[in-house]
């Protein structure tokens, strides 16, 4: 049944045709979206990535190709020639851009037949994601997914355009590189010519972009594929794309300024509205204390408050003992929920808080006659009044309290804050709020490794005034690090880098490396620092996350052409898979255990 093109050339795309084409003969190619038989007329909706156009086959004009049109089914691939005509007023379709015209076909080629697809090729289908991803090539024909991938293309184009005008050079860095296990788990690639040795796929081009600054390139960028062998989430994939940026002779303010201009440029091209600059900034400490998160969603209030000083001497044992052990009592006002929530619903909130590591959840309902709460009898009237004033509470509000070590209290209330934002419908699509989070801790203690690890990565510069704390009190050292947050999602992060070998060696020592271990893993960088390294810094954006948020997608998988599923496999091509024994022998590798189902 399949025919050849035989010299036919497409003259335009389906979705491009409008009234200006009336009277012209066109050649179109695409997929059959739908066929409707109306006696001596057959109507076919022909689809390509630009849209749908109606084709009309008339039995009276050409019986031979009319009979061929009768055989058409959904997803057959067609080439047609015909004349563009204006539809009559009663047959116009205002729901599609081409609804004022149709094509009176006079020739037809069936380029390829199609089996019946396992699901309908149309937007918003209600079918399991596992089935869609198994037949991803069919899923990608849907107009809603095509629009997202086209948007992704445009997003990359806008970023490249802006950075090019700002004097940045796009330079590629290696994909096969050295494993430097300080961070997420590497994907390893065995070397055939160096038996027993392995390359690693890059988690980021971090070290190479720093070396490019040492090489004098000043302004570098790359839209680059990176790899991390870690568990997947809705906004995470084992292979992902970064917008990677690095600059020489800069401080934090320079990085903020150019990135804000880039985001404004992208935002203008995406939504046609200006982005308010400068972008709000919060220190890490302020973000945690106000929102219970280092990636705060600032589209709504419900901010956390510290009431430790008010209740430090109260009669409530849970508060008093937690404070005595160095903990804090943090609180949040769930505005209006006191009059909406029955006791059983409040008890359910207590259980929810426990899933977020809290030992419990105290609560007070404020009403016109005072307060209702199982803990109010342990508080004086003065203490209650001070709490109400600090939380700006009014009748009908529900006040929630967590007493614990501060990290737990903040995290638990931060998660409840997000839960209430959903319940109170405070999150609105199309509402975009950026915020910078700055002054992250340089290091954090890893209980499993029994040592400090880098909060971001080992090449981040400490703040100048904190350098002397590296050896004496590393937990207090702040970093010249910053994240850019959009609607509670980290879309990018970066820092000013260490640019001298002495400070870098001190950083490695704080991480528990011996001098020999530091030189074994990162000697090429330490050596390079001896030859004149400029101050430099940069940022990397999660390109997939940006595309996800800007298109209003629920999952990062919707903006990646061929994504992996939750267990990091690809059901379409069945990857990963076993390989031939001869391949393993070439690599001097023996498999000691295979997956058992």
Q: Report domain extents, the chain.
A: 14-112, 132-277+535-597, 300-427
> pLDDT, tens digit, for every residue of 358-414?
999 999 999 888 889 999 999 999 999 999 999 999 999 999 999 999 999 999 999
Residue 512 carries which DSSP code?
Answer: T
CATH architecture of 300-427: 2-Layer Sandwich (3.30)
Cite the beta strand spans of 136-203 per DSSP E: 169-170, 188-190, 198-200
pLDDT of the residue at 574: 92
Which residues pair with residue 85 across a beta bridge? 102
Answer for the pair 306, 328: CB distance below 8 angstroms, yes or no.
Answer: yes
pLDDT of the residue at 183: 67
Report the topology of domain 14-112: OB fold (Dihydrolipoamide Acetyltransferase, E2P) (2.40.50)
Answer for the pair 384, 367: CB distance below 8 angstroms, yes or no.
Answer: no
Report the topology of domain 132-277+535-597: BirA Bifunctional Protein; domain 2 (3.30.930)
pLDDT of the residue at 406: 94
The alpha carbon of 65 is separated from its chain's Cα centroid by a whole number of angstroms, namely 49
Q: How far apart are CA 174 and CA 225, in angstroms?
A: 11
Q: Is 68 exposed, middle or buried (0-12, 13-18, 19+ CB in 10 A)?
A: middle
Q: Do 14-112 and 132-277+535-597 have matching folds?
A: no
pLDDT tens, the chain, 597 aa long:
689 999 999 999 999 999 999 999 999 999 999 999 998 999 999 999 999 999 999 998 888 888 999 999 999 999 999 999 999 998 999 989 999 999 999 999 999 999 999 999 999 899 999 999 999 999 999 999 999 999 999 999 999 999 999 999 999 999 999 997 666 789 999 999 999 999 999 999 999 999 999 999 999 999 999 999 987 776 789 999 999 999 999 999 999 999 999 999 999 999 998 999 999 999 999 999 999 999 999 999 999 999 999 999 999 999 999 999 999 999 999 999 998 888 899 999 999 999 999 999 999 999 888 889 999 999 999 999 999 999 999 999 999 999 999 999 999 999 999 999 999 999 988 899 999 999 999 999 888 888 989 998 999 999 999 999 999 999 999 999 999 999 999 999 999 999 999 999 999 999 999 999 999 889 999 999 999 999 999 999 999 999 999 999 989 999 999 999 988 899 999 999 999 999 999 999 988 887 754
pLDDT of the residue at 231: 79
For CA atoms 488, 491, 496, 497, give the dihedral sign: positive
């Amino acid at each position: 049944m399949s025919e050849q093109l035989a010299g036919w050339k497409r003259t335009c795309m389906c979705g491009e045709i409008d009234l200006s084409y009336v009277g012209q003969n066109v050649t179109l190619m695409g997929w059959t979206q739908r066929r409707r038989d109306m006696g001596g007329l057959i109507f076919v909706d022909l689809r390509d990535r630009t849209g749908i156009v109606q084709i009309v086959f008339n039995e009276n004009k050409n019986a031979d190709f009319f009979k061929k049109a009768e055989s058409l089914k959904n997803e057959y691939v067609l080439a047609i020639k015909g004349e563009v005509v204006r539809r009559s007023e009663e047959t116009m379709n205002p729901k599609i851009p081409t609804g004022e015209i149709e094509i009176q076909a006079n020739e037809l080629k069936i380029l390829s037949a199609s089996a019946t697809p396992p699901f309908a090729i149309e937007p918003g289908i209600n079918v399991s994601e596992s089935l869609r991803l198994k037949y991803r090539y069919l899923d990608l024909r849907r107009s809603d997914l095509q629009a997202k991938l086209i948007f992704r293309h445009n997003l990359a184009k806008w970023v490249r355009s802006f950075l090019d005008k700002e004097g940045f050079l796009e330079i590629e860095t290696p994909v096969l590189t050295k494993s430097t296990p300080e961070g997420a788990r590497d994907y390893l690639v065995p070397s055939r010519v160096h038996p027993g040795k392995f390359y690693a796929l890059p988690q980021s081009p971090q070290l190479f972009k720093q070396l490019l600054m040492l090489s004098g390139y000043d302004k570098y960028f790359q839209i680059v594929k990176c790899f991390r062998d870690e568990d997947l989430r809705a906004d995470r994939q084992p292979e992902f794309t970064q917008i990677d940026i690095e600059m020489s002779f800069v401080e934090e303010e320079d990085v903020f300024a150019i990135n804000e201009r880039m985001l404004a440029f992208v935002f203008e091209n995406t939504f046609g509205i200006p982005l308010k600059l400068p972008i709000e900034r919060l220190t890490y400490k302020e973000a945690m204390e106000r929102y219970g998160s280092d990636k705060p969603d600032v589209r709504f209030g419900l901010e956390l408050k510290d009431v430790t000083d008010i209740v430090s001497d109260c009669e409530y044992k849970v508060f008093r003992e937690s404070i005595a052990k160095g903990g804090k009592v943090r609180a949040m006002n769930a505005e209006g929920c006191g009059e909406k929530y029955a006791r059983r619903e409040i008890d359910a909130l207590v259980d929810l808080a426990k899933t977020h590591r809290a030992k419990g959840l105290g609560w007070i309902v404020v009403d016109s006659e005072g307060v209702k709460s199982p803990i109010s009898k342990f508080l004086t009237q003065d203490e209650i009044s001070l709490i109400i004033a600090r939380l700006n509470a009014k009748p009908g509000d529900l006040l929630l309290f967590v007493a614990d070590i501060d990290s737990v209290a903040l995290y638990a209330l931060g998660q409840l804050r997000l839960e209430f934002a959903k319940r109170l419908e405070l999150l609105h699509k199309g509402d975009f709020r950026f915020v910078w989070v700055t002054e992250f801790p340089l290091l954090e203690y890893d209980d499993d490794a029994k040592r400090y690890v880098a909060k971001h990565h080992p090449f981040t510069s400490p703040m100048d005034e904190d350098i002397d704390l590296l050896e004496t009190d590393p937990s207090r050292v702040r970093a010249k690090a910053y994240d850019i947050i959009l609607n509670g999602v980290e879309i990018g992060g970066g820092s000013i880098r260490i640019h001298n070998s002495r400070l870098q060696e001190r950083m490695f020592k704080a991480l528990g490396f011996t001098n020999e271990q530091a030189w074994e893993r990162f000697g090429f960088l330490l050596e390079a620092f001896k030859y004149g390294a400029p101050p430099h810094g940069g940022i990397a954006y999660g390109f997939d996350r940006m595309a996800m948020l800007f298109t209003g997608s629920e999952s990062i998988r919707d903006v990646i052409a061929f994504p992996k599923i939750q267990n990091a496999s690809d059901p379409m091509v069945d990857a990963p898979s076993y390989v031939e024994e001869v391949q393993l022998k070439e690599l001097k590798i023996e498999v000691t255990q295979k997956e058992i189902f």
